[in-house]
Amino acid sequence: MCLGVPGKLVALDDGEALPSGTVDFGGVRRKVCLAYVPEARVGNYVLVHVGFAISTLDEAEAARTRALLEELALLGDEVGG
């Protein structure tokens, strides 16, 4: 089973070999590769799987997905749940 977790892109990191940025997962921030979502901009929500943003999504969809994951107890302290 693959799990993608929604987060908000809060910073773009320059100077990396691959495009990357910092994503906030409810208070926990992680560096994420943005190579698959070149259209992502600061303030966008992205779906992240094993350190790679695999798609962008709107804020409402991000909130619904996060709420479902929290309900299912799939988010732990490591991603701000």
Query: Which pLDDT does position 18 carry in this prediction?
Result: 93
Query: Which pLDDT does position 30 carry in this prediction?
Result: 97
**What's the CATH class of domain 5-79?**
mainly beta
2 versus 44: which is more confidently predicted?
A: 44
pTM (two decimals):
0.83
For residue 73, what are the CA distances in angstroms to 3, 31, 61, 70, 77? 13, 23, 18, 5, 11
- 2-8: average pLDDT: 90
Kindly give, in sequence order, each residue whose CB lies less than 8 Å from that of residue 70, ignoring residues fewer than 6 positions away: 81
Residue 64 has pLDDT above 90, yes or no: yes
pLDDT-based confidence at 1, cuts 50/70/90? low
Residue 81 has pLDDT above 60, yes or no: no
